[in-house]
Amino acid sequence: MSGATAKKAYEGRSITVTFEAGLCRHAAECVHGLPEVFDPARRPWILPDGADADRVAEVVGRCPSGALEYRFAADAPRVSGQGPSGGPEPSPGGDPAAP
Ligand code: SF4
């Protein structure tokens, strides 16, 4: 089983980003989306704390190849996105289905 690509984890305070080089299509969505976090000229090239964790998650979600993934730290504060159970959060504007 040689040639398998290792997934590398870049741990931040609020979010950890993983990168699997073998899947990367070099579309540069990440680099264009958040250059302060993703910079191939720097080592390490991913700095998860370089921007708000929600923005990091959003840009990671744009990766077309699946090379990038993320997970929030268990105790990290979140201002948007999914709830702790992975389900949608209730909308703050009230219940639109109410009569
Ligand atoms: S967005 Fe994904 S596929 Fe594109 S360069 Fe970044 S890691 Fe590679």
Does residue 67 have its Cβ closer than 6 Å to ligand 1?
yes
How far is 49 from 55, CA to CA, in rounded Å?
11
Q: How far is the CA of 78 from the centre of ligand 1 (A)?
A: 24
What are the tens digits of pLDDT across the range 3-42? 567 999 999 999 999 999 999 999 899 999 999 999 999 9
Q: Which of 49, 59, 45 is nearest to 16 (CA)?
A: 49
Where in the chain are the domains? Answer: 7-72
Tell me which of 10, 17, 18, 29 to substitute to probe ligand 1's pocket, judged by most ligand atoms within 8 Å of the beta carbon.
29
Q: How confident is the model at residue 98 (pLDDT cuts 50, 70, 90)?
A: very low
Would you say domain 7-72 falls under CATH 3.30.70.20? yes
Q: Establish whether the linkage from the previous residue to 77 is cis, with ω within 30° of 0.
A: no
**Model-level pTM?**
0.75
Does residue 21 have its Cβ closer than 6 Å to ligand 1?
no
